[in-house]
């Protein structure tokens, strides 16, 4: 019996019920329309919120850069610039980081002088960006040892390491000594290291990172994939390390997963190594079976955990489940034993709520045959107010727990032999 016919019978046989039914129906429709509006508004507000966070992060980075610039102008010379004369930073010669707006930096944003990116991949051809004036000026500055476009607090200069745990400063060799002009800085080879900041998709929304969960919608996913497909894929033949995904979780990013499935394989790119960043909540047998193309590709896996207990984990990795993590770590261990991963690193963002688990975390890493543990200082990505951040940031020298935490970390580092312990703050 069709709905129309049922409705007709109801109207004829029970006119009063029919009126009630019609009123109710109208109410339901109103509620439905209203809920659709609420959902739409929520989505718009969420999008705006995320835009504001992005703007805040860029401004925050710029303010560091500007204050360094001010210091340089006031002090004219850095105290240790002479020491740097013997060194060169290889980053501008070999690395790029690609941001969601298409801008390309060779260096950490707060490392270079105000907005010294090398161009935009949306508006220019990659070859033009890679050998742009800004790129060549930066190369000349580091080759001559004056680090003209660098800030003294750049991680490569202070030696606090970078995301891949490598240090860009090295002794100046023949190649760098032979560079005397901007023209000498034009490179015929492409970047060896590519860091992707293009997608913020993540299955978790940790308090240290974001207030709400975010996974790119279809339009955004298509846009990111197109960029990767057109602009990044042609760089793969010369690339040696491709890092993804610095701004999110690789296994949550449909665009980067599609890109990896389509383009990455050992036969075509034998020099290429992947550096995959994840919280491991989605890295299970089913997910991994979707990447048969990665079988022979050397992969470093960087897993952010921040805790050695269920309670702390589920508080600090909001949205994550301890059981799922443990099950997936067991599976990852089987993959490691089969030689699927070249290196596994566990990450621990040191903060007030987890500093009592620093030692247990290293023990946990040992149980999973992890190669490295990286303890890092907490950053404020706009998710804490100043007061909250002050309380949580135990690796701030002004924090009452600073000395005891640093002492513990140093002791752990010096007494651990079977595991590399990295500390940066």
List of residues contacting ligand SF4 (CB under 6 A)? 89, 91-92, 107, 111-112, 138, 142, 147, 150, 154, 156-157, 168
CA contacts within 13 A on the Cβ side of 334: 9
Report, in Å, the least distance between residue 116 CB and ligand SF4: 8
Report, in Å, the least distance between residue 95 CB and ligand SF4: 8
Residue 362 near residue 373, CB atoms below 8 Å = yes
Bridge partner list, 421: 373
Q: Quote the DSSP letter at residue 159.
A: T
Q: Which C-beta is closer to ligand SF4: that of 58 or that of 419?
A: 58
Backbone φ and ψ for 166, nearest 5 degrees, come out as -105, 155
Structure tokens at 220: 């955004």
Q: Which C-beta is closer to ligand SF4: that of 148 or that of 360?
A: 148
Can you tell me whether residue 192 is helix, strand or coil? coil
Q: Which C-beta is closer to ligand SF4: that of 168 or that of 298?
A: 168
Report, in Å, the least distance between residue 362 CB and ligand SF4: 29
Q: Which C-beta is closer to ligand SF4: that of 192 or that of 342?
A: 192
Report, in Å, the least distance between residue 83 CB and ligand SF4: 13
Measured torsion, CA atoms of residues 339, 340, 343, 347, in degrees rounded to the nearest 10: -130
Report, in Å, the least distance between residue 361 CB and ligand SF4: 29
Going by C-alpha positions, the residue among 266, 133, 118, 298 that lies closest to residue 191 is 118
Report, in Å, the least distance between residue 138 CB and ligand SF4: 6
Q: Quote the DSSP letter at residue 295.
A: T
Residue 291 near residue 336, CB atoms below 8 Å = no
Alpha helices by DSSP H, 322-399: 322-337, 358-367, 386-392
Q: Which C-beta is closer to ligand SF4: that of 105 or that of 250?
A: 105
Q: Which C-beta is closer to ligand SF4: that of 67 or that of 403?
A: 67
CB-based burial, 116-151: b 16+ in 10 Å, e otherwise? bbbbbbeeeebeebbbbebbbbbbbbbbbbebebbb
Assign residue 43 a region (left: φ > 0; alpha: ψ between -120 and 50; beta: otherwise): alpha
Report, in Å, the least distance between residue 168 CB and ligand SF4: 5
Q: Which C-beta is closer to ligand SF4: that of 189 or that of 289?
A: 189
CA–CA distance from 210 to each of 244, 309, 374, 417 (Å)? 19, 22, 21, 35
Q: Which C-beta is closer to ligand SF4: that of 89 or that of 202?
A: 89
Measured torsion, CA atoms of residues 277, 281, 284, 287, in degrees rounded to the nearest 10: -70
Report, in Å, the least distance between residue 86 CB and ligand SF4: 14
Report, in Å, the least distance between residue 274 CB and ligand SF4: 22
Strand 343-350 relative to strand 299-304, pairing? parallel
Q: Which C-beta is closer to ligand SF4: that of 107 or that of 332?
A: 107
């Amino acid at each position: 019996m069709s709905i129309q016919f049922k409705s007709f019978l109801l109207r004829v046989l029970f006119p009063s019920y029919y009126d009630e039914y019609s009123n109710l129906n109208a109410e339901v429709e109103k509620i439905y329309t209203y809920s659709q509006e609420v959902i739409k508004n929520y989505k718009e507000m969420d999008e705006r919120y995320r835009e504001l966070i992005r703007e805040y992060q860029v401004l925050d980075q710029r303010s560091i850069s500007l204050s360094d610039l001010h210091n340089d102008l006031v002090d004219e010379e850095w105290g240790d610039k002479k020491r740097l004369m013997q060194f060169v930073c290889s980053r501008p010669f070999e690395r790029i980081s690609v941001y969601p707006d298409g801008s390309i930096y060779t260096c950490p944003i707060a490392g270079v002088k105000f907005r010294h990116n090398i161009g935009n991949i949306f508006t220019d051809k990659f070859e033009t960006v890679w050998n742009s004036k800004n790129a060549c000026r930066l190369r000349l500055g580091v080759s001559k040892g004056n680090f003209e476009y660098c800030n003294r607090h750049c991680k490569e200069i202070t030696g606090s390491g970078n995301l891949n745990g490598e240090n860009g400063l090295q002794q100046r060799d023949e190649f760098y000594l032979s560079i005397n002009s901007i023209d000498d800085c034009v490179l015929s080879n492409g970047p060896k290291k590519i860091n992707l900041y293009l997608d913020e998709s993540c299955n978790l929304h940790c308090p240290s990172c974001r207030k709400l969960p975010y996974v790119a919608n279809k339009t955004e996913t298509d846009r990111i994939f197109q960029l990767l497909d057109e602009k990044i894929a042609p760089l793969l033949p010369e690339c040696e390390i491709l890092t993804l995904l610095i701004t999110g979780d690789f296994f949550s990013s449909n665009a980067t997963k599609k890109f990896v499935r389509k383009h990455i394989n050992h036969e075509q790119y034998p020099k290429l190594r992947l550096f995959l960043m994840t919280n491991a909540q989605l890295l299970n047998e089913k997910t991994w079976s979707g990447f048969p193309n990665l079988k022979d590709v050397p992969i470093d896996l960087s897993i952010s955990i921040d805790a050695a207990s269920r309670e702390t984990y589920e508080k600090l990795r909001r949205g994550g489940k301890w059981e799922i993590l443990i099950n997936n770590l067991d599976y990852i261990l089987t993959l490691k034993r089969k030689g699927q991963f070249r290196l596994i690193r566990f990450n621990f963002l040191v903060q007030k709520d987890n500093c009592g688990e620093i030692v247990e975390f290293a023990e946990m890493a040992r149980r999973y045959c992890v190669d490295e543990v990286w303890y890092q200082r907490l950053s404020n990505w706009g998710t804490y107010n100043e007061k909250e951040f002050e309380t949580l940031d135990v690796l701030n020298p002004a924090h009452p727990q600073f000395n005891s935490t640093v002492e513990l970390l140093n002791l752990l580092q010096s007494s651990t032999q079977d595991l590399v312990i990295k500390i940066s703050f």
